[in-house]
């Protein structure tokens, strides 16, 4: 990762950490991570797009990784993250960029583009599609042991995670989220109990990767990460016209557990295209929730094809 440089940028009163590679005069690609990810989740894509002539920037959201904690993590919202993204572009003198997001990073992109569409050349989402801000309804028909239901409850995840070191928490979440089934605990379990200590990591996720994530979460903790996305899901804005017309790509792994959420497949096959008419969708048959780390070569090619096509148009 020696090609990737690190810096801090003052944004809305906080120092945000960002990783960067590529020429400063090139078209800009901003990568927005999900959970339990950090900038590091984009390591393969950053190097690939930089080699192809783009400038890659991957920040840690406020409260994540090496970025500052907000003064009141429990009040952090998706709007804060969208505002940070805008302020970051301004601080770096970037008038327009491609945005690439994964998991709840896709939700940040959705909000950002509805607020600041003139700053977006095009966008790619992975795992979670473009979602206009609305009350989060996907938990309505799931049992009490559903992981989001548990993590939305103040104090419960803190107690669950607090039994383990940060590295083990990240390990367990990567294992759970790499499966094709939604993580659901029984009434005698907490979410961390679902994974046995002997369960191996996914084959594409190394011990070195885990060490990196573990060290970053040792620094940041999980307080902001539990607030956004999990406890701020219902904190949303309304837009009279939630359609976006810039070029877009949605990359989804067919084994992604998110597809099991009620209503998600219907939305992807139906309403999504009406909201994003210039959307291309690509299914990766073996892909799980972490396609960008699991299948970097395939994802990199899709990303480069999209960026090359739409930076020349």
- Say how far residue 208 (Cα) sits from the centre of its chain: 21
| Domain membership of residue 184 as a residue range | 5-311
C-alpha 186/C-alpha 139 separation (Å) is 16
Kindly report the CATH number assigned to the domain that includes residue 232. 3.40.50.1820
DSSP 146: B
Active-site residue set? 103, 230, 289
Token pair for 142: 């799931």
Has residue 135 got a pLDDT over 60?
A: no
Residues 291, 293, 298, CA angle at the centre, nearest 5°? 60
Q: List the beta strands (DSSP E) in the chain.
A: 5-11, 14-21, 28-32, 55-59, 97-102, 120-126, 248-253, 279-284
Q: Is 30 in contact with 58 (CB distance < 8 Å)?
A: yes
Give this prediction's pTM.
Answer: 0.96
* pLDDT tens per residue, range 58-107: 999 999 999 999 999 999 999 999 999 999 999 999 999 999 999 999 99
- Residue 155 CB neighbour total at 10 angstroms: 9
Q: Is 161 in contact with 169 (CB distance < 8 Å)?
A: yes
* pLDDT tens per residue, range 302-312: 999 999 999 97
Q: Is 119 in contact with 46 (CB distance < 8 Å)?
A: no
Q: Is 87 in contact with 12 (CB distance < 8 Å)?
A: yes
Using CA atoms of 248, 46, 102, 166 in order, give the dihedral in degrees to the nearest 10: -170
What backbone torsions phi and psi does residue 141 show, to the nearest 5 degrees? Answer: -110, 25
What is the tally of structural domains in the chain?
1
In Å, how far are 36, 71, 108, 113, 228 from 76, measured between CA atoms? Answer: 17, 9, 13, 19, 7
Percent of the chain with pLDDT over 70: 94
Compute the average pLDDT of residues 129-153. 77
Residue 50: which residues within 8 A CB-CB, separation 6 or more?
Answer: 3, 21, 22, 23, 56
Per-residue confidence (pLDDT) for residue 221, from 0 to 100: 96
C-alpha 216/C-alpha 44 separation (Å) is 18
* pLDDT tens per residue, range 167-185: 999 999 999 999 999 999 9
Q: Is 278 in contact with 243 (CB distance < 8 Å)?
A: no
């Amino acid at each position: 990762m020696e090609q990737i440089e690190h810096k801090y940028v003052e944004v809305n009163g906080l120092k945000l950490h960002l990783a960067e590679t590529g020429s400063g005069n090139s078209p800009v690609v901003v990568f927005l991570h999900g959970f339990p990810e950090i900038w590091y989740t984009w390591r393969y894509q950053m190097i690939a797009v930089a080699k192809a002539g783009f400038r890659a920037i991957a920040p840690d959201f406020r409260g994540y990784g090496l970025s500052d904690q907000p003064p009141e993590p429990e009040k952090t919202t998706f709007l804060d993250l969208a505002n940070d993204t805008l302020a970051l572009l301004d601080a770096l003198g970037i008038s327009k960029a491609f945005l690439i997001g994964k998991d709840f990073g896709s939700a940040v992109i959705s909000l950002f583009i509805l607020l600041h569409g003139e700053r977006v050349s095009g966008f790619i989402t992975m795992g979670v599609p473009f979602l206009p801000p609305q009350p989060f309804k996907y938990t309505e028909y799931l049992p009490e042991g559903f992981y989001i239901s548990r993590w939305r409850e103040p104090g419960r995840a803190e107690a669950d995670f607090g039994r383990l070191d940060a590295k083990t928490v990240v390990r367990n979440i990567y294992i759970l989220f790499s499966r094709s089934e939604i993580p659901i605990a029984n009434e005698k379990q907490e979410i961390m109990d679902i994974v046995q200590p002997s369960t191996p990591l996914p084959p594409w996720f190394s011990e070195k990767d885990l060490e990196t994530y573990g060290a970053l979460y040792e620094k940041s903790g999980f307080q902001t990460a539990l607030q956004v996305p999990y406890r701020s899901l219902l904190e949303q804005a309304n837009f009279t016209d939630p359609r976006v017309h810039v070029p877009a790509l949605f990359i989804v792994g067919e084994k992604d557990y998110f597809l099991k959420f009620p209503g998600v497949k219907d939305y992807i096959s139906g309403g999504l295209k009406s909201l994003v008419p210039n959307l291309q969708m690509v299914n990766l048959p073996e892909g799980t929730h972490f396609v960008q780390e699991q299948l970097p070569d395939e994802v990199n090619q899709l990303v480069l094809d999209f960026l090359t096509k739409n930076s020349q148009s």
